[in-house]
């Protein structure tokens, strides 16, 4: 066989392989702000990483489950109810079928929950109470239900932008020994030591206590780098990403970088933040007016960020987003236009390309991928 025929044969093999490449299927969970005869709770879809195709599977009716967390064993889902009940809810989850079933609900301390996380061993959930200005730790019973003996920690203080605390998130550290809150009202990242054996008070302030960001920054959401050495927080009010080093419960601010282009003079409204699973890129979103995804490369040695692009979302009030486990797709919620918007992700450059694919849902607030059995 001559060289040209060999090249042609290899090309055909490559094309055939791509045509018949198999994707991996995951559950796609969608949280919403509920309204009569529109969104009713959490929706479950099947998501194929091959082509980002989706198939509706089921739903669970629940009052405004705007944010939720899934346990590592995928047996339970815990949600906030951002409605009049101001509850935290426990649901069983079938990782084969995707079915959700409500187990029980408990009050979220002083109320106003907007964020929830669960520790790696499934012993506690942590709620950021935006309205109440508190961090709430709720114990998880052996059967997955929530206990009533909660710890509710009231934050104190104010900033130049807000006159009281607004706890917007509570993230568990990779070593499962600390919880870090972003308090939009006080401009502080508060650090708590976590020990599940100390029920009903598993959280205590660390010696560091907190790190204060720029006056009026308004920290909102945060995330850890996969190498567990770096930590990042997005601010809502001044639209920045703040990079920290992390070691044994201590965070040290090393960089603050803008999300919007220098030419932009409007409100940035920073929203959500995620790092790609390979740790090479960080993404942070803005909502309401700007509605962009800021894309940064991550220096693997220092953790510092460099802007590599900004992608318009195409919707309005994009609260959250998530990258699928294959790393090839990003899905962005757009509360203002009632849709979830799909992007193709280039794993080499980190850049995003709109695909034209969408899921229509009234007031979507959160998307998460969960492994399917």
Model confidence pLDDT, tens digit, residues 328-348: 999 999 999 999 999 999 999
What is the residue whose two structure tokens read 């079915």? Answer: 99
Q: What is the 3-state secondary structure (H, E, C) of 110-134?
A: CCCEEEEEECCCCCEEEEEECCCCE
- CA 10, distance to chain mean position in Å, is 42
What pLDDT does 36 receive? 76
Q: How far, CA to CA in Å, does 325 sit from each of 24, 47, 177, 295, 330?
A: 9, 11, 25, 18, 10
What pLDDT does 284 receive? 98
Q: What is the mean pLDDT of each run of 10 residues along the chain (373 residues)?
A: 44 40 88 90 98 98 97 98 96 98 95 96 98 97 97 97 97 98 98 98 98 98 98 98 98 98 94 98 96 98 98 93 98 96 98 97 97 96
What pLDDT does 21 receive? 52
Q: What radius of gyration, in Å, describes the C-alpha atoms of the chain?
A: 21
Cα(298)–Cα(312) distance, integer angstroms: 21
Q: What is the 3-state secondary structure (H, E, C) of 248-282?
A: CCEEEEEEEEECCCCCCCCCCCEEEEEECCCCCEE
Give the dihedral sign, CA 71/77/83/88: negative
- Residue 265: phi and psi, rounded to 5, are -120, 5
Domains annotated on the chain, with CATH: 64-371 (2.130.10.10)
Contact 148, 175 (CB under 8 A): no
The structure's pTM equals 0.93
Residue 168, class by beta-carbon neighbours within 10 Å (0-12 exposed, 13-18 middle, 19+ buried)? buried
What pLDDT does 132 receive? 95
What pLDDT does 23 receive? 81
Q: Which helix (H) or strand (E) holds 4?
A: helix 3-19
Contacts of residue 146, defined as CB under 8 A and 6 or more positions apart, other chains included, come to 78, 88, 89, 90, 103, 104, 105, 106, 125, 138, 139, 140
Secondary structure letter of residue 11 according to DSSP:
H
């Amino acid at each position: 066989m001559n060289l040209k025929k060999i090249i042609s044969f290899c090309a055909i093999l490559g094309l055939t392989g791509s045509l018949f490449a198999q994707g991996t299927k995951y559950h796609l969970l969608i949280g919403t702000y509920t309204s009569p005869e529109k969104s009713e709770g959490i929706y479950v879809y099947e998501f194929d990483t091959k082509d980002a195709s989706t198939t509706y599977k089921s739903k669970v009716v629940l009052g405004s489950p705007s944010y939720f967390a899934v346990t590592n064993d995928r047996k339970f889902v815990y949600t906030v109810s951002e409605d009049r009940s101001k509850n935290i809810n426990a649901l069983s989850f079938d990782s084969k079928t995707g079915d959700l079933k409500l187990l029980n609900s408990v009050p979220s301390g002083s109320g106003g929950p907007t964020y929830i996380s669960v520790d790696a061993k499934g012993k506690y959930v942590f709620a950021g109470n935006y309205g109440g200005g508190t961090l709430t730790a709720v114990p998880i019973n052996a059967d997955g239900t929530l206990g009533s003996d909660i710890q509710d920690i009231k934050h104190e203080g104010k900033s130049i932008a807000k006159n009281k605390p607004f706890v917007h998130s509570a993230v568990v550290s990779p070593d499962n020994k600390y919880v870090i809150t972003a308090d939009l009202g006080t401009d502080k990242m508060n650090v708590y030591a976590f020990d599940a054996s100390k029920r009903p008070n598993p959280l205590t302030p660390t010696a560091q206590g907190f790190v204060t960001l720029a006056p009026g920054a308004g920290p909102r959401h945060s995330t850890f780098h996969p190498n567990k050495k770096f930590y990042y927080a997005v601010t809502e009010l001044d639209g920045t990403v703040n990079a920290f080093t992390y070691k044994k419960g201590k965070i040290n601010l090393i960089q603050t970088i803008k999300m919007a282009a220098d030419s932009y003079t409007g409100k940035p409204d920073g929203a959500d933040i995620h790092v790609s699973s390979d740790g090479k890129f960080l993404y942070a979103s803005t909502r309401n007016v700007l509605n962009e995804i800021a894309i940064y490369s991550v220096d693997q040695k220092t953790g510092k960020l460099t802007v590599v692009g900004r992608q318009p979302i195409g919707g309005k009030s994009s609260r959250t987003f998530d990258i699928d486990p294959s790393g090839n797709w990003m899905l962005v919620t757009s509360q203002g236009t009632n849709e979830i918007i799909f992007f193709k992700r280039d794993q080499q450059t980190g850049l995003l390309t709109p695909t034209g694919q969408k899921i229509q849902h009234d007031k979507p607030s959160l998307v998460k991928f969960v492994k399917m059995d």
